[in-house]
Chain A
């Protein structure tokens, strides 16, 4: 029972273009969503988050969009840079579940110069 799904295992984008990473969830109790970035041999690093009361949150080159009716969120990176190449994880949490995050399987982004 995978409650958070990232259906694209990999994505390749040209430097300077937009990267769009997608995530779907099934549990309507989720009220907070996060994106983490992970390099090999390192722990995940927090990127950006969004509360279920919003539909968009921006932080520099990163924007997260939430469509609650579709139970879908996406991360946009504009413009993409080679240093953005990493595995991106979508995660969701329920207010009552404290530090328990449910992660997607990850999408490996490759940004080519």
Chain B
């Protein structure tokens, strides 16, 4: 059973640019969540999608957005990049959110560096 796949694994952008990250969940998983990991803030929740609908949103500015497709694959986009957006972006999938057993399976992450 393939795990959660994130692409690209590494990327470098400059301030003001935008970036799109992709996530393919485990087959059969319908919920996809995104997290940002930075040395100073740890792992922070960005948003969650379930059945193509944003189910939950963290405390991030509107420059951060996402979407989910009918095959459960998800993308997140960050527009007008700032230096502080440099981070490891992690995607996680689960079968059924809110079931009381929120065991998320994480991908390896996309390491974004903003210069």
Interface-located stretch among A11-19, A43-51, A65-73 = A43-51
Contact with A along B85-105 (1 / 0, CB 8 A): 000001010100110111111
- Closest chain B residue to A6, Cβ basis: B42
**B105 partner residues in chain A, CB cutoff 8 A:** 46
- Total number of B residues with any Cβ neighbor in A under 8 Å: 29
Give complex CA distance A91, B100 in Å: 14
Contacts of A93 in B (CB 8 A): 102
The verdict on A46 contacting B100 (CB below 8 Å), with A89-B43, A99-B31, A103-B43 known, is: no
Q: Does B56 contact A (CB under 8 A)?
A: yes
Contact between A102 and B102 (Cβ–Cβ < 8 Å)? no
A46 touches B58 (CB 8 A): no
Which residue of the partner chain, among B32, B43, B44, B98, contacts A95 with CB atoms under 8 Å? B98
A34 within 8 A of B: yes
Report whether A96 and B98 are in contact in the complex, using a CB–CB cutoff of 8 Å.
yes
* Chain B 56-85 near chain A by CB (<8 Å), digits 1 or 0: 101000000000000000000000000000
Query: Top 8 closest A-B pairs, CB basis?
Result: A98-B97, A43-B106, A99-B33, A103-B43, A99-B48, A98-B98, A99-B97, A105-B42
